[in-house]
């Protein structure tokens, strides 16, 4: 995401300690909004932002993320890049169906905040949701938002999260990057 960030406005939803958003700020984003429900996570992000001299470009918003995405849309906010990286929606197999609906809802809410020509990255760390069905849920949410775009990439874990061949559950990280028209 950092490669796309220069000059962009960025929303990092479910930001935790600001990993995506602070990297975007460091890479030249003009404005970054970090959104999370955890005061502790946002305080940690603020410490990192201060240590890296990024205070002039980073804003914070605390609240339940889905409600906050709806509120941002109601405020008419749009961003060049929206990153939505929630905690696992499917912690067990029984959560599978509700998780797919939650990912579709997240994609719908997030897509509404992407400016025309902007980028949307949605991630999942739910082992019980496969990459294909996760991607389908994201595309469904895009349609419900009445947005069109193209998938630029479907990603899995990086080298810092190796997948063990005998442990399929270690292949739990996935993400979809879209360019929206």
Please identify every residue annotated as catalytic. 125
**Residue 156 near residue 171 (C-beta atoms within 8 A):** yes
Helix, strand, or coil (residue 71): helix
**Residue 113 near residue 138 (C-beta atoms within 8 A):** no
Pairing of strands 114-124, 79-84: parallel
**Residue 115 near residue 79 (C-beta atoms within 8 A):** yes
DSSP run (H or E) holding 66? helix 65-74
């Amino acid at each position: 995401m950092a490669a796309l960030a220069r000059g962009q406005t960025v929303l990092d939803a479910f930001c935790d300690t600001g990993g995506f958003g602070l990297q975007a700020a460091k890479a030249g984003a003009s404005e970054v909004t970090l959104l999370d429900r955890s005061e502790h996570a946002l305080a940690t992000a603020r410490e990192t932002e201060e240590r890296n001299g990024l205070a002039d470009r980073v804003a914070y918003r605390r609240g339940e993320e889905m409600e906050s995405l709806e509120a941002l849309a109601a405020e008419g906010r749009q961003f060049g890049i929206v990153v939505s990286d929630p905690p696992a929606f499917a912690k067990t197999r029984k959560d599978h169906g509700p998780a797919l609906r939650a990912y579709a809802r997240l994609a719908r809410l997030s897509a509404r905040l992407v400016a025309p020509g902007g980028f949307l990255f949605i991630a999942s760390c739910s082992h019980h949701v496969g990459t294909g069905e996760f991607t389908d849920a994201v595309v469904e949410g895009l349609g419900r938002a009445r947005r069109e775009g193209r998938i630029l990439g479907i990603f899995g874990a990086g080298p810092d999260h190796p997948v063990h061949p005998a442990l399929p559950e270690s292949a739990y990280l996935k993400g979809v990057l879209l360019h929206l028209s």
